[in-house]
Amino acid sequence: MPQLNPGLAGQQPNPMFRIGALVHGRADVLHLEFGEPDFATPEHIVAAGIASLRDERQGYGPGNGVLSLREALAARVARVNRIAAPPEQIVVTAGGTGGLMASLLSICAPGAEVLVPDPAWAGYDAMLAAAGARKVYYPLSPALGWQPDFDALERAITPRTTALLVNSPSNPGGAVFSRATIARLVEIAQRYDLWLLSDECYDEFVYEGEHVSPAALDSDGRVVTIGTCSKAYAMTGWRVGWVVAPPALAASIGLATAAQINNLPLFVQRAAAAAITGPQACVGEMARAYQQRRDLAVELVRARGLLEYVPAGAFYLLVPLARLASPDDPAAFDGVAFAEALIAERGIAIAPGVAFGPATAGHARVSLASSAETLRAGITGMLDFAADYATR
């Protein structure tokens, strides 16, 4: 047989995506498995997309995005992220996913090692594999509310390490890294001469503390910032995000994006521009709703004595389920089997913690992007089921 790309050959889909596919579109399931906002895309954003479809020719366009959107993004990253970057340093991408993939393709030579948090968002696995990179974990410490353990991070660096991936506010932990933590991460990237990829897909969702972008502290052009409309504007399916990168890298990221999609549809870019330049009250309203849901989830989990920490941002909560479902031997807990049984027997979908890394193999991640009623019924049902599971 002809050769396969060794990076992707035999790569299994991450269990979070398998669980997601199992329950996709099922109305009989309580959905807590994905970070999928249950809000509709705000009306003025939809209207801008429709107006473009009706009034403009939807043709080919620049691979790095239309200038008017990149100008809007330059103002946005100055406002939200304190990053001073001209439109030439911004690439419009197919969601944060496209931005991360194009960035990895632009910086990774075959065999490059990328430092990824343990736990980290499940989507990085396939991207790293496709880019021919090797994932090397650095631990986030549960005792520190899922913040980095710097000594362990430095021990994970080798001569092949190319990039340090940082995600704050984080998925799945919901941690918001302090200014001091971000400064230390930038300093480590400088000292070891690494790229720092900063996934800031949740930068609008901070409930305690402040969002600090590594690029705002970058003194020598090594930070790449990835953002998205998906979460802040409830636009997951529109597939629009961006990358802010140092000039030489921005050109490569533009090429890597164009190589995959040529250009994002114009109506999607117009909708993104409306999202970014239009009224921002919708973002605050959704953030307040997520914070209330977080408080509800925290109380439900605390009431069972299982609360390890309170997430300060994003919209996820990690629950140490193995303690309840497998109390005699938490290390033997099979989170994927549990998640499948929970769907089959109780109609509740969660993401098994093992999808995010070994550190959370005994956890379940619940998404707070679902309604309060779904959360209450889903979390209560999950915890009841875990208690029953222990007696099987």
Q: Which residues bind ligand PLP (CB under 6 A)?
A: 35, 95-97, 121, 123, 167, 171, 199, 201, 228, 230, 236, 241
Between 90 and 201, whose beta carbon lies closer to ligand PLP? 201
Question: Which is nearer to ligand PLP, 63 or 241 (by Cβ)?
Answer: 241
Widest CA span in the chain: 64
DSSP-H helix ranges across the chain: 15-23, 43-55, 67-80, 95-107, 124-130, 150-155, 179-191, 247-261, 266-277, 281-303, 322-325, 335-346, 372-389
Closer by beta carbon to ligand PLP, 161 or else 230: 230
Nearest approach in angstroms of CB 191 to ligand PLP is 25
Of residues 120 and 322, the one with the C-beta less far from ligand PLP = 120
8 A C-beta contact, residue 181 and residue 149: no
Closest distance between ligand PLP and the C-beta of residue 231, in Å? 7
Q: Are 163 and 185 in contact (CB under 8 A)?
A: no
Beta carbon of residue 232, minimum distance to ligand PLP (angstroms, whole number): 10
d(C-alpha 6, C-alpha 129), whole Å: 8
Task: Please identify the residue of the shown chain whose CB is closest to the bound ligand PLP.
Answer: 95
The candidate with the shortest Cα–Cα distance to 139, out of 123, 121, 116, is 116
Q: Which is nearer to ligand PLP, 201 or 348 (CB)?
A: 201
- Closest distance of CB 93 from ligand PLP, Å: 8
- Cβ atoms within 10 Å of 308's Cβ, excluding its own: 17
For residue 16, what is the DSSP state?
H
What is the spatial distance between Cα 54 and Cα 127, in angstroms, rounded to a whole number? 35
Nearer to ligand PLP, 185 or 324 (CB): 185
Distance CA 347, CA 30 (A): 6
CB of 316 to ligand PLP, least distance (A): 8
Decide whether 204 or 383 has the Cβ nearer to ligand PLP: 204
In the complex, what is the shortest distance from the CB of residue 123 to ligand PLP, in angstroms, rounded to a whole number? 6
The nearer residue to ligand PLP, 264 or 322, going by C-beta atoms, is: 264
Quick one: how far is CA 79 from the chain centroid?
21
Pick 268 or 322: Cβ nearer ligand PLP: 268
Q: Is residue 189 helix, strand or coil?
A: helix
- Determine the residue type at 112: A
Q: What CA–CA distance (Å, rounded) separates 319 from 317?
A: 6
**From the CB of 200, what's the least distance to ligand PLP, in Å?**
9
- Return the structure tokens found at 284: 């605050």
Would strands 161-167 and 113-118 be described as parallel, antiparallel, or unpaired? parallel
Q: What pairs with residue 18 in β-bridges?
A: none
Name the minimum Å distance from CB 171 to ligand PLP. Answer: 4
Q: How far is the CB of 110 from ligand PLP (least distance, A)?
A: 24
